[in-house]
Amino acid sequence: MPVIRIEELSEYIEDSLIKMISKSGSVKFVRHVSASLIVDVQKFFKTFVPTAKYYVVIVPDNVKNEKVKDELISMSRNSFNFTILYSYKLMDKILIIGYD
């Protein structure tokens, strides 16, 4: 998963989302991945995403992989500590932001 610097986020998401992300705390990492590569969201998080206190997951408003979207929503309702945001500007990638 490629790492993205905070300064480069304006290429991927709206300015209003960047402001929300910046106010949420100390960013530990920003990664992006294609939704089509994810088969099992929980296994993906446990295997490929670094540990963080909490996460913000930004998905495109028209994400093609409905299963991934449904699993993310299910995880956010359970004990997993993250928030899901939607972006009109973000194309076929999912952004995962981890906080200290």
Indicate the domain borders of the chain: 6-99
Structure tokens at 19: 């402001």
> Residue 1: which of 97, 66, 75, 99 has the closest Cα?
97
* 47 burial type by CB count under 10 A (0-12 exposed, 13-18 middle, 19+ buried): exposed
- The pLDDT value recorded for residue 64 is 67
- The pLDDT value recorded for residue 1 is 58
Q: What is the pLDDT of residues 35-53, one digit of tens each?
A: 778 888 888 888 888 888 8
- The pLDDT value recorded for residue 80 is 67
Assign domain 6-99 one CATH number from 3.30.1330, 3.90.550, 1.10.10, 3.30.1490: 3.30.1330
Least confident of 15-29, 33-47, 63-77, 78-92: 63-77
Structure tokens at 75: 């995880």
Structure tokens at 35: 């939704």
Question: 2 CB contacts (<8 Å, ≥6 apart)?
Answer: 31, 32
